[in-house]
Every structure is written in C-alpha cells, then in structure tokens.
Amino acid sequence: MIFDLHCHSTVSDGKLTPKELLERAVDKGVDVLALTDHDTTDGIPLVQKEIDDNELAIKLISGVEISTCWENKDIHIVGLNFDRNHPAMKEYLANQSIIREERAQEIGRRVEKTKLIDNVYQGAKAIAGEGQIGRGHIARFMIEQGMVKDNAQAFKKYLARGKVGYVPSPWPDMKSAIDVIHQAGGQAILAHPMGYKLSGKWLRKLTIAFKGAGGDGLEAAGCQLAPPHRQHLAALALEYDLLGSSGSDFHFPSSWIELGRSLYFAKGVTPVWSLWPDYAHVS
C-alpha cells in the first residue's frame, strides 16, 4: 500500500486545487492520503466530499503542517489523524493565520526596500486568494513581476534565511504544536528532517529536542531521499524510539517530486500507521 502523508493544495502554497490533487493521487496509485497544507485544514472537507461523491477507494487521513521555531529556525511539524474540529486545534491554527498575515506584510516591506518591486503583500495576497499565505505566493508574485526567473531564485536571492526579505522565525515552539496535535488526538511528525540542511550533530540535537517535546515520529521516506539518508533517518528513529512517516511534500507537478513516488523506508522503521487500527498490520 502507498501512504502519502504530506502534500499541499491551493489551500496553502500548492498549485493544484484539493480536487485536482485528489485526482492526481488516485492516478498515481496512492492508497492513503493526508493533505497537509501549511497551518490550515480547510482543504480536508473538500477532498473528503470528492471521495464520498465519487465513491473512491482512496482513504483520507486528516493532516496539517504546522510552522514552529526551534533555535531560530523554521521547523515544520506534520500532524496526522487528529480531529480537525477540536477547539484547541481550531484556535491554534487561527493564531497561525494571524502570524502568517503579519509575516507576509513584513516580508513585503523588506522586499520593497530593494526598490525593484511594489505592493508585494497585495500581489501575493491576490495569488493566495482564500488560501493560507506563504513565501511561495510572494515568490510567485516576484516571478510575475519579472523580478526573478523562478521559485528557486526567489528563495535564493530574497526569501531564504539570511536574505533581505527573510523575517526571523515568528512561530511558536515545537512543543506547543506537538501538544495541540495530541490534544486533538493525532500524531506529531517531524517533517522532512533532511530539509533543514543541518549537520549530523544538529540533526541529532533536533531529533532529541523533538522527542523531548513529545514528538511521535519523523518523516523517513520521501521521493527525493537518497538511500543513505533513508538509512540515517531509520537509525535515528530506532535510536530515539520514534515512528516513521512517509510523504512526498508534493506542491505542484514537476519531474522530480511526485505524489506516491518512492515512499519506502529503510529497514527497521515502525510506521506511524501501526497506531491506526485499520492499517496496524500494513508494513
């Protein structure tokens, strides 16, 4: 069975609508899907309705990718299989939305200091529409205005940590995100551990902090992970008694990231779905 438990739609910075994302997941053979938009669960009922209306066999697990701050870095925590209507979760995500709006305005002011572009927040907001605004929308506005040639360049030159448009992580700590996921009955997963570009020593430090804050598992399978990285993550999961999750972190169709692709674990990982009665025996 294929479990893709990390992906994005237009409800945050993905480019496919929840309906299009679902169709693509079905097409790619995904059996169990979690839509994990940044700091919002608003896409989940839209996907579930499509599944129900069309009597599709694919299963949807509730998901969210929560932005947190650890050691002045943005660290992402994926929440899985929780009650999206739990009042504590709703309140937490409402506050994340406020932080996102304020941060986007501040990024806009900083990028405008280059004198190369105007109305950055307004432009990005128009692209985000009803969705949760993020740096991806700001990057798209910069491309639209001819300031950069693509998303990678927007981050590299202006939006990544340390660049002119970067706002120091305004997010709450990891423990608060892990706690609210638990309050809502779910599991907290450290997203894309290899994505933070940490040294081995710092990745271990992060894993220890995450485990100490009550975290349940780490993403140990993703479509771009080389085998030695999968082995490294499996070893960390075993050493710190963490479960493994698998997810593509799909945002839009491209040749290098795809829903459901290469989501296998290195040996020894206990999957997060071992806790879910319907899938407890799926290896």
Site of interaction with Mn ion (CB under 5 A): 13, 65, 76, 191, 249
Asked if 62 contacts 34 with a C-beta cutoff of 8 angstroms, the reply is yes
Q: Least distance from C-beta 74 to Mn ion, angstroms?
A: 8
Q: Which stretch binds ligand AMP (CB under 6 A): 84-92, 132-140, 219-227, 265-273?
A: 132-140
Per-residue contact string for residues 151-190; x = within reach of ligand AMP by CB under 6 A: xx--x----x------------------------------
Asked if 68 contacts 177 with a C-beta cutoff of 8 angstroms, the reply is yes
Per-residue contact string for residues 21-60; x = within reach of ligand AMP by CB under 6 A: -----------------x----------------------
Asked if 2 contacts 16 with a C-beta cutoff of 8 angstroms, the reply is no
Q: Least distance from C-beta 130 to ligand AMP, angstroms?
A: 16
Residue among 114 and 262 whose Cβ is closer to Mn ion: 262
For residue 14, what are the contacts with CB-CB under 8 A and spacing of at least 6?
7, 8, 21, 37, 250, 251, 252
Residue among 76 and 84 whose Cβ is closer to Mn ion: 76
Residue nearest to Mn ion (CB): 76
Q: Is there binding between residue 192 and ligand AMP (CB under 6 A)?
A: no
Single-letter residue type at 157: K
Residue among 54 and 97 whose Cβ is closer to Mn ion: 97
Asked if 190 contacts 210 with a C-beta cutoff of 8 angstroms, the reply is yes
Q: Which residue intervals of 28-86 are DSSP H helices?
A: 44-53
Q: Which of 43, 63, 131, 136 binds ligand AMP (CB under 6 A)?
A: 136
Distance CA 39, CA 121 (A): 19
Q: Rounded to the nearest 5°, which phi and psi values hold at 9?
A: -125, -175
Distance CA 234, CA 218 (A): 9
Query: Which letter does DSSP use for residue 56 in this model?
Result: -
Residue among 143 and 238 whose Cβ is closer to Mn ion: 143
Residue among 56 and 224 whose Cβ is closer to Mn ion: 224
Say if strands 187-190 and 217-221 run parallel, antiparallel, or are unpaired.
parallel
Residues that bind ligand AMP (CB under 6 A): 13, 38, 67, 74, 134-136, 151-152, 155, 160, 251
